[in-house]
Amino acid sequence: MVRYLIKTVETYRVDTEDEVASFIEELKSNSSYDLVSYKSKRKEKKEKGEVIDTWCQVQVVKEIDDEVYPVNCICYGLKDGAKCGGASSEALDSYRDSESCKCEFDE
pTM of the prediction? 0.67
H or E segment and range at residue 66:
none
- Alpha-carbon distance 89 to 75, whole Å? 13
User: How confident is the model over 59-69, as a mean pLDDT?
Assistant: 93
Per-residue pLDDT for 39 more than 70? Answer: yes
- Alpha-carbon distance 105 to 83, whole Å? 14
User: How confident is the model over 46-51, as a mean pLDDT?
Assistant: 95
Q: Phi-psi bin for 13: left (phi > 0), alpha (psi -120 to 50), beta?
A: beta
Each residue's pLDDT tens digit, 65-99 = 989 988 877 665 555 545 555 544 443 444 334 34
